[in-house]
Structures are given as C-alpha cells and as structure tokens.
Structure 1
Amino acid sequence: MTAESNPNGGQPQQVNLQQIAQQFMSGLQRHFDMLAFNLASREAVQEETYNQHVNAPRIMPAAPRHQNFEQMQAYARDLLVRQVIGDSLNLTVTAMNNAHFFLALVKATNANKDVTPDAQKAAQESQQAFIPAQLDEKFNRLEKDYGIMCELEDSITSLGFVMQILMQQNGVVKAEQVDEQGELAIELKSVEIQEAAVEGQPQGKLVDLRKVFRAEDIVFFSDVELQLVLVSVASFADSLFKSVAEYARSVQEGA
C-alpha cells in the first residue's frame, strides 16, 4: 500500500505503509532488546565491581553525596521504569504520527497516486495540526476524520497517567487518576501457552494481562511487565497500521 507526496515541489516521494510499519517494528524491537540487556546487566552486576568502577578515577565530583551499591540499585530500577514508560509513549506517538501522515495523503488524494498541489497542501496542513496535538486529541482525530478506533487506547492513556505519576507524584496514584471503579488499569499483551500442540510444538495465544493500580498505590512493574509494555505497544501499532491499510483500501474501492 503506497501513497505519494511532493513536499518540495520536485519529484513525488513515495510513502510506503508497509515500509513505515516495518521500520517502526524494527526500532521497537531494538528497544525491547536493549531492555532485556539492561535487565540482564542489572542482575549480573556485583557490589565489588561497582565499587571498583567508583574508585577507579580516584576522585569524585561530590564524594559526600556518593551513593552505595544498594542505593544505586534502587535508583537505577526507578530510572529504568520511567525510561521504559516514557519510551513507550514516545513510540506510540510516533506510530500515530506516521499513520496519520499516510491517512492524510490518502484522504487528500482520494487514494490517487497523482498528488495535486491542492491535495499536497491539504495533507501537509492536516499533518501539521495533528503532530502537536495531545494524545487524547490524536485518538479523537483518528476516529473523527478516518473512522479508526485504536486498540488499547485506554491502556495507552493510562500509561500517560503512569508517567505523570512517576515524574510528578513520587510514584503515588491519586484519587482523581482512577476510574469509577477506583482503578487505573492497563491491559498488557501476553502469551498463554495452549495445552494442545501442533506437530509437537506448543502453541501460544495472545491474551490480556490486566495491571491495576488504585488510589494511594505505589506504581510498580515487574521486569516481565516492563517487557510486556513494549509488547503491548507493538500490538497497538500493528492494529493501527492494519486499520490504516483498510482505510486506504476502502477509499480506493470507493473512488
């Protein structure tokens, strides 16, 4: 599925949805692999090795404020959680921006490869308005303008609250951040191994793992849950890109 744009007034540039999706997933996999590496490194590090590196330069910027091994373990864990949640939100926004650019081109050209100056201008203006929009507004615009309902929208929104909680509230959930059931819930995508095997190989089924926080809870994610956050972003993006492709097909068939 492709569309073409001509942002510089020269030769049209082809925008390939499949390529966009593949590049996004490749980048997301690097985030996943880096997280696994960091988790493995944290498990392997020893206090003696930490102290050797601390003392190697024989000088510190502010020695009285030096933190010991246990303090740094806790700090590094908290930092990792904030990084994973922040990266996940940034990746989600990137996927939505990329998807919207393709959608704007399809809508402006009526799925025609010939991009007129007026269609090009309309697509660019639509994209320029979409990029700075807040996360909830992005979801609203995708639904209103293109009829796309995003899978895991509520969970992505909850991750936004979680990031706010981690950065501004010392990790403590406030009452105004929970729903009518008193929950701040996140649906994490996980794999459930089925009992029945096919050709001797166990089969996995994608399932939802519900992570719930309540008012006054301290936000905490296990190592595996952090990994599943990235898996959930992958599921979100995969569903989004498929919806974009379906929209393009529907416009093309109706043209």
Structure 2
Amino acid sequence: MQADADVAEASASVFTVERYGRFDEQEWAAVGRVTRQLLALLGAEEALDEAISTQAAVLGRLLNKPGSNEAQPGEEAEAEASDEPDDDPSKAGGTTRSERTVYELPDWLPDQRAELEVRLSASGIDFEWDGDDLLVPAEREDDVDAVFDGIVGAGGDDDSDEERYRALTELFASTGRLAADPADVDRQEAVRDWAGIVGGSPLLGMDEIDWFRIMSKLRTLLGVLDGDGDIDALGDLAQEMHELLRTVV
C-alpha cells in the first residue's frame, strides 16, 4: 500500500541521517515528535493509512530540509547550480507579494510547518516562505484556509487548548443530538461549528492513536454533511462519532 512506501522513504532518510548537516535542538525535537507519532500509528490495531502517509511525508520533509544534506568534510558536492528555471512546486512564483495572501506564523514549530507544507503540496497549492510568513496565491486563499482547518491549534496557547477541550465536550453532545435527528439542519450546523474548533494536533495528555481515530471519523462525518446528505449514513456516523468521543470526554 502507499503508506508502506511512504514509511520506507522516511526510514531511508532516518538511516542516512549522519550524512545531513546540523539540525538545531528545536528541529531534532520535531523529528522526535513525528517519529514517535509515526511509530504509534504503525502500532495501531486498525489501518490508518492516511495518517501514516502524512506523518511519513512530514518526517521526510523535516530530514530533507533545504541545506540539510550539505556535503560533509571530505565529500564533493554532487550538484552544480543550474541555469534552468526553478520549477519547484513549493515556489509561489510568477506573482508579487501584493498578489499573494500572507499568513504570519512566527510561533509554528518545524514539524507543524512541515505538515502544513505536506498538506499544501497534496492540495496542489503553490507556497513560499518569507521568514516566518507563508505566502500563497491570493486566489487559493479559501483552499489554504481549508488546509489550516486540518491542523488548527498548531502553535496554540493555553487558552486555545482550553477552548478545544470545551469544544470536544460540546462536539460529543452535538453528535449525540444529531444521531437522534440527522435531518435537523441546526444540529448539523452545531456539529460543523464545534468540529472547526477541535481539529488539529492531539490535545495535551490525549493518546495519539485515539486522536487520529477521532479525526479520521470526524472527517468522514463532515464529508457526508457536505456531500449528498444521506440521512441514514449521517445518523449512523454521528452515533459512531458520539461513542468514540465518549471514551475521551
């Protein structure tokens, strides 16, 4: 499966890490966090291919950051500068800064930035970093906001964590109400609203596998809410989501 290939590629980066240039303490901590999350996902009893692929890609991006594979003493550089145009898909070229939307992310950690890059690339969104500022084409702003929704809470403070804990409790209650009457539009909107707050990295003290399982089920539920509106499927998914949340609230 694709997840196996992603893990293999990330593993190759880990086993050749001595060839890389220096990483600072924050970068090594990020590598450790992502590796731990990846190992936890691989040890899960159920298949979590999407989460595994994402974390493997994040780890690979962290270990292959620009400048991290500089030639070590005694080694010759293998690549020469090219006169050909740079077609790197991560460059939001062809537009000026005024034609792009700027997101200021000074508090984001290396692994959070790497995950953002992975998700932007997967969505086909050009991007460029200008220090701590993320630059994206202005016409893709809505798409970028949707990507951020998947990793909201990155770089958050204690107040935002407290808000997400409260939202998780409210989501538990709202999914129970939706399961009882999946055709109720107000109940559907309540689930959407609370889901938009709880999403992101695992909350402090929460098991990572439980969190990935919850987020996977939540994405499926939201997909049905925004899709064809199959009431039977919506009711069943809301009940499953409710029972899943019961274990953590």
Q: Normalising by the residue count of structure 2, what TM-score does the alignment of the two structures yield? A: 0.27
**Rg larger in structure:** 1
Q: Normalising by the residue count of structure 1, what TM-score does the alignment of the two structures yield? A: 0.26
Higher strand share: 1
The structure with higher relative contact order (CA 8 Å, sep 6+) is 1
